[in-house]
Structure 1
Amino acid sequence: MEEDWRKLQVGDRVRFVRLPTEFSQPGYFVHKDTLRLYKRLIARRRSTQVAFLDDWQRPVICYRFIGKSGRMEYHSLIIDDDSWVRVKPRKKTT
């Protein structure tokens, strides 16, 4: 069952598990850098936190990677597709 990205709030954690379905539709263009970033987010298998909501109330994540040049790259990505799952917080043990 897919979750609706419209329900995400600042602070929620998500993990990217697949490429968005729309990427595979005939004639749909995806910039190579965007595709590369999705693949890296999927491959790293870690959750990331929603940093803020944009002007249209879409959740945005911010992240960084070490690029091919060895320098840190900073990126942000709007979450408005089906490529992610919500990560439930761990229960605290006492």
Structure 2
Amino acid sequence: MAKRPSLSASFVVGEQPILDPTPPPKPQAQPQSLDLPKPTPKVRDHRENRQAFTVWLDRDLIAKVRGLSRELVAEHGRAGNSIEALVTEALNEILAKHGR
């Protein structure tokens, strides 16, 4: 009995070596469909043209503004009754008062 040249040569079944697997099949190119998806329209971001403005306020004042916002939302719905809308309205009145 002859000695085999290497360890991998001893793992042979018939003509196919066990340690040398056959290469995986190459993926075939998928044909392009003629129906191309239409681009979705750009959804307007509610923060577009806006910037965060952080201030420190008294807790009592914050509680009053939150309570007012909740009452307005309960009465009239969400549109225009958020805390952001209330603060914007107040700042616009301050600017108008000072002529700006």
Tell me if both proteins adopt one fold, taking TM over 0.5 as the criterion.
no
Superposition TM-score, scaled by structure 2 size = 0.17
Higher helix share: 2
Superposition TM-score, scaled by structure 1 size = 0.18
Specify the structure having the higher radius of gyration (Cα): 2
Which structure has more relative contact order (CA 8 Å, sep 6+)? It is 1
